[in-house]
Amino acid sequence: MLPLPAVGWSPDQRALRLLDQRVLPEAEVVRDLVVLEDTIDAIRTLAVRGAPAIGVAAAIGLVVALEAAHADAPGAALRPLVDAWGARLVAARPTAVNLPWAVARLQRVAAALPPDAPPRALLEALRGEAEAIRAEDVAMGEAIGTHGLALVPDGARVLTHCNAGALATAGAGTALAPVYAAHARGRRLAVFATETRPLRQGARLTAWELHRAGISVTVLPDGAVAALLASGAVDVVLVGADRIAANGDVANKVGTRGVALAAQAAGVPFIVVAPGSTIDPATPHGDAMPIEHRDADELAPLPAGVGAWNPAFDVTPRALVTGYLTDRGFVEPPFLE
C-alpha cells in the first residue's frame, strides 16, 4: 500500500520514524526524530497528522526522547518527565482525542510502577506500552476494513473528505480502511476525494495514496461537493473523526459539516469511521470540544490588512450522521463508557 508506514519506529528502534506529509506528493521524505521538541514540531506543523497517527507519534516520540536524554537518570528524576513532557505533547494539537489518550496510557504505566523502580524498568515499560499503541492501531485498521466491507460492494462510489487513510494511521487507515479491504478482494471502486482547503490534504494525500494503491480516485473542489452528491454519482460518504463526543457529535477536518448537510439533502448515507479510542465519553457534546485554529499564513496570499478565520476542524451534529463504524463494528450513541 505504501513504501513504509506513515509513523512507527526507526529500524534500530531508537527513533520515531515518519513520512513527512508536508512535502507530499512532490517528495517522499522520511524523518527519524529523537528530540522531544522535534516530535512536538512534527505534530504541530502536520508533518504527521491524522488522529490515530499523532497518538502513535506522541507515544513513540516520548519514549525515544526520554531514552536519549535521561536513560541514566535516577528513576525518581525520570518519572516526573513523563507527565511534564507528555503535557507538552498534548498541547501541540488540542482537538484530536487520540493524542491525550495515548499520552495518558504512558503516564498510567509510569504511575503503576513502584516509586523506587530503576530507570531501565520504567523505560522498558513505557516502550512496551508505546509499541502496544502502535500495534493496536494497525489491528484497528484491519478490523475496520473487515467490518466495513458491506459499505463498499463491487462498483461502489465513495466520497471522502480530507485524509483518513493509511497516512493518518500506523496501518490501513480509518475511513479508507473499508476501501482498501474491498480493493484487496478485487472489487471495482471509484473514490471522490475533496480537495480539502486550505492545506489540500485530500488532493495531496488521499489522492496520492489511493492512486499509489491502484484505486480509481477523482479530486473535486470543496465547493463542488453538494453538486456531486445531488447528481447521484455517490453511493456513500466515508469520513474520519478526530473526536466523537458522548452524544455522537463529531469533530473532523473543517468542511465535514458541509459535506454531511449535502449528503443528508441528497439522501446519501454519511458514515463516520474511527477507532474506539476516538470516542470521548468525557466530552458530552460538540459544543464542549476544543477547536484548533490555524495561522492565517495557511490561507496566503491575502491582501495586506485582511484578517483570517481558519479553524482546523468543525463539528458535525449527531443528527447528520447515518452511522458510526469502529474497530468493533457499528456502534450507536450515547457513548457513556
Q: Helical H runs in 91-206?
A: 98-112, 119-147, 177-184, 201
Same domain, 326 and 215: yes
In total, how many domains does the chain have? 2
Q: Which residue has the cell 483518513?
A: 164
Burial class (CB in 10 A: 0-12, 13-18, 19+), 224: middle
What is the arithmetic mean of pLDDT over 177-200? 97
**Domain annotation covers residue 336:** no
Per the structure block, which three cell numbers stand in for 306?
A: 485582511
Q: Say yes or no: 266 and 226 in one domain.
A: yes
CA pair distance 1, 269, nearest whole angstrom: 27
* 296 in the same domain as 276: yes
Q: What is the pLDDT of residue 76?
A: 66
- Is 242 marked active-site? yes
* One domain for residues 128 and 157: no
Report the pLDDT value the prediction gives residue 2, as an integer from 0 to 100: 54
Query: Nine-digit cell at 318?
Result: 449527531
Domain check: are 296 and 185 in the same one?
yes
Say what the pLDDT of residue 71 is: 63
pLDDT at 19: 96
Residues 70 and 89 in one domain: yes
Res 37: pLDDT: 97
- In a domain? residue 1: no
Same domain, 163 and 97: no
CATH label of the domain that carries residue 79: 1.20.120.420
Structure confidence at residue 274 (pLDDT)? 96
Judge if 119 and 162 occupy the same domain. Answer: no
Q: Report pLDDT digits (tens) over 214-263.
A: 999 999 999 999 999 999 999 999 999 999 999 999 999 999 999 999 99
Q: Among 222, 242, 280, 327, which one carries the catalytic annotation?
A: 242
User: Within a domain: residue 308?
Assistant: yes
Domain hosting 119: range is 7-143
User: At which of 108, 143, 178 does a domain end?
Assistant: 143
State the CATH number of the domain containing residue 326: 3.40.50.10470
In SS3 terms, 259-323 reads as HHHHHHHHCCCEEEECCHHHEECCCCCHHHCCCCECCHHHHCCCCCCCCCCCECEEEECHHHCCE
Please give the angle made by the CA atoms of 21, 13 and 135, to the nearest 5 degrees. Answer: 70
pTM score: 0.92
> How would you classify the pairing of strands 16-19 and 7-9?
antiparallel
pLDDT single digits (tens) 130-159? 999 999 999 999 999 999 999 999 999 999
What pLDDT is recorded for position 119?
Answer: 87
Asked whether the predicted pLDDT for residue 199 surpasses 80, the reply is yes
User: How confident is residue 77, by pLDDT bands cut at 50, 70 and 90?
Assistant: confident
What are the grid coordinates assigned to 279, written together?
Answer: 470516542
Among the three residues 117, 143, 169, which one is the final residue of a domain in this structure?
A: 143
pLDDT, average across residues 295-320: 95
Look at residues 283, 282, 193, 203 and name the one whose alpha carbon lies nearest to residue 239.
193
31 and 60 within one domain? yes
Give a yes or no: residue 337 inside a domain. no
Mind listing the pLDDT tens digit for each residue in 104-121? 999 999 999 988 888 889
